[in-house]
C-alpha cells in the first residue's frame, strides 16, 4: 500500500510540474542597456528578453506559428525590435543599426547601435517591447554615458502598458 501511495504522490508531483511549466511564468520583464561608446560617441543598445515571450508576441501579431524553425525567424525578430524600440532627439528619430541577436539560456539578447554620434541627455526612449502582449510586462532601460560637456550621466527608465515613452534628463549631482 505504501509503494502504491508513494508512486501516486510521485505521479501527482510530476503532473503538477508539467502543468506549472506549461502555464509559463507569472512575471514579465525585460532589460535594455543603453550606453555611449566613449570612443565613437555612438549609442549601443543591448536588449534582454525571454525568448518565448518575444516569439509569442510575434506569433500573435502575425497570426502564425512562430518558432526558431520559421524561415523568416531572424527577419521577424529584427522587425519586432525595430518597431517596438526607438530613440529620438528633438522629435527626430535617431537612426539605429541592427547588429543582430543571440539566444542564450532562454533569453534573446539583441544588439543595436546608433548610426551617428549621439548624446544621452534629452533622448526620448520609446519602449513598447511586449507591453501590448503582456499587460504585466515591465521594461527597464538602464543608461550611461556623457553629456555634451563631458559629464557622466546614468540612470534608468521604466516602461509598462501605461508608459511607453520617457526622456533621459540629467540628474543634478549637487
Residue 123's CATH number: 3.30.70
Q: Is residue 154 part of a domain?
A: yes
pLDDT band at 169 (very low <50, low <70, confident <90, very high): confident
pLDDT score of 96: 97
Closest CA to 44 of 142, 173, 130: 142
Is a pLDDT exceeding 90 seen at residue 151? no
Q: Is residue 2 part of a domain?
A: no
pLDDT score of 17: 42
pLDDT band at 149 (very low <50, low <70, confident <90, very high): confident
Model confidence over 106-147: pLDDT tens digits? Answer: 999 999 999 998 888 899 999 999 999 999 999 999 999 988
Contacts of 9 (CB under 8 A, 6+ apart): none
Q: Is residue 128 part of a domain?
A: yes
Enclosing domain of residue 77: 28-167
pLDDT score of 3: 54
Task: Please tell me the total count of domains within the chain.
Answer: 1
User: 143 with 171: CB under 8 angstroms?
Assistant: no
Overall average pLDDT of the 139-162 stretch: 92
Model confidence over 56-91: pLDDT tens digits? Answer: 999 999 999 999 999 999 999 999 999 999 999 999
Give CA–CA dist 98/79, Å, rounded.
10
Model confidence over 5-52: pLDDT tens digits? Answer: 444 444 444 444 433 334 456 678 999 999 999 899 899 999 999 999
Contacts of 68 (CB under 8 A, 6+ apart): 55, 103
Q: Is residue 141 part of a domain?
A: yes
Amino acid at each position: 500500500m505504501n509503494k502504491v501511495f508513494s508512486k501516486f504522490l510521485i505521479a501527482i508531483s510530476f503532473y503538477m510540474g508539467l502543468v506549472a511549466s506549461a502555464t509559463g511564468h507569472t512575471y514579465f520583464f525585460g532589460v535594455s542597456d543603453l550606453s555611449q561608446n566613449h570612443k565613437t560617441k555612438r549609442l549601443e543598445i543591448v536588449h534582454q528578453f525571454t525568448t518565448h515571450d518575444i516569439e509569442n508576441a510575434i506569433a500573435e501579431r502575425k497570426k502564425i506559428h512562430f518558432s526558431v524553425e520559421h524561415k523568416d525567424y531572424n527577419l521577424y525578430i529584427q522587425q519586432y525590435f525595430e518597431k517596438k524600440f526607438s530613440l529620438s532627439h528633438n522629435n527626430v528619430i535617431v537612426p539605429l543599426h541592427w547588429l543582430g541577436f543571440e539566444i542564450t539560456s532562454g533569453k534573446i539578447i539583441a544588439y543595436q547601435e546608433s548610426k551617428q554620434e549621439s548624446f544621452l541627455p534629452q533622448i526620448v526612449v520609446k519602449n513598447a517591447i511586449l507591453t501590448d502582449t503582456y499587460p504585466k510586462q515591465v521594461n527597464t532601460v538602464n543608461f550611461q554615458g556623457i553629456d555634451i560637456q563631458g559629464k557622466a550621466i546614468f540612470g534608468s527608465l521604466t516602461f509598462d502598458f501605461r508608459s511607453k515613452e520617457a526622456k533621459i534628463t540629467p540628474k543634478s549631482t549637487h
